[in-house]
Structure 1
Amino acid sequence: MKFYDKGFINHYANYTQVQVFSAGNVVLNLKIYDDRVCRDTFECQTLKQFNKEYLSASYEDDFIQKLFSQDNKDIYFKDSENGVLIKVIKE
């Protein structure tokens, strides 16, 4: 997955929603729960499956959940070995 556009990270009681927009259209819509990640296609995967398919199987199961739950102004994660770069600049 590669995205270089604007988006939103919303925190709700039961999940965190990550939405990325390009030219006003949603190009990524994830709902990250404690035990799964669901895409806007209504397809859900365990956190472990999501890591294996999109990031790296070596990551902790809750990696993506912890990453987007940070209150930091900016989020930056780079893993050159696995070719993963996640950079979020909050405005």
Structure 2
Amino acid sequence: MIFSLILFTGCFSSNQPQLTSSATILLKTPQMKFYDKGFIFKYKEYTQVQIFNAGTAILDMKIYDDKICRSTFKCQDLKTFNKENLSSTYADNFLKELFERNEKEVFFKDKENGVFIKIIRD
């Protein structure tokens, strides 16, 4: 009986989000342009951002403490991601910190680097 219970519970994924929120997300940089509805999932190990257009995921990004992984490229360390997509002057945890804020509305605008990020949680 105990063996069956252990076997049965072992089949369930322990990687469930600690927090899930739907949001309208604008992520505009010289290299990326996304503006649509999406979800922000906060897991123990990472934060996942998904943006959908017409029911299709157009962005699926996992932000860890030391790297960012997108479905369109292999993982990059935070410094490289910031340098290539945002600005090398940003702190390594900049994007993770923005998406993990518990505020209904989050706005960030950097005219000098052409970066505009807006998150409006439903």
The residue that corresponds to 2:82 in the other structure is 51
1:7 aligns with 2:38: yes
Which one-letter code corresponds to 1:82 in the other structure?
A: N
Give unmatched runs, 5+ long, in structure 1. Answer: none
For the pair shown, the structure with the greater C-alpha radius of gyration is 2
Partner of 2:121: 90
User: In proportion to residue count, which structure has more helix?
Assistant: 2
1:29 equivalent among 38, 55, 60: 60
Equivalent position amino acid for 1:85 in 2: F
In structure 2, relative to structure 1, the CA distance for the partners of 1:2 and 1:42 (3 Å cut) is closer
Letter paired with 2:88:
A
Counterpart-to-counterpart distance in 1, 2:67 and 2:73: 12
**Mapped partners of 2:67, 2:60: distance in 1:** 14
Deviation for aligned residue 1:4: 1.4
Amino acid at match of 1:64: L
> Could you tell me which of 53, 63, 79 is aligned with 2:94?
63
- The DSSP-based 3-state class of the residue aligned with 1:3 is strand
Q: CA deviation at 1:41?
A: 3.9
Structure 2 residues not aligned, in runs of 5+: 1-31
In 2, the alpha carbon distance for the partners of 1:75 and 1:11 equals: 16
Deviation sequence 1:61-88 (CA, Å, 0-9, x none)? 1111111110001110000010000001
- Of the two structures, which has the highest relative contact order with CA contacts closer than 8 Å and spacing of 6 or more? 2
Counting matched residue pairs gives: 91
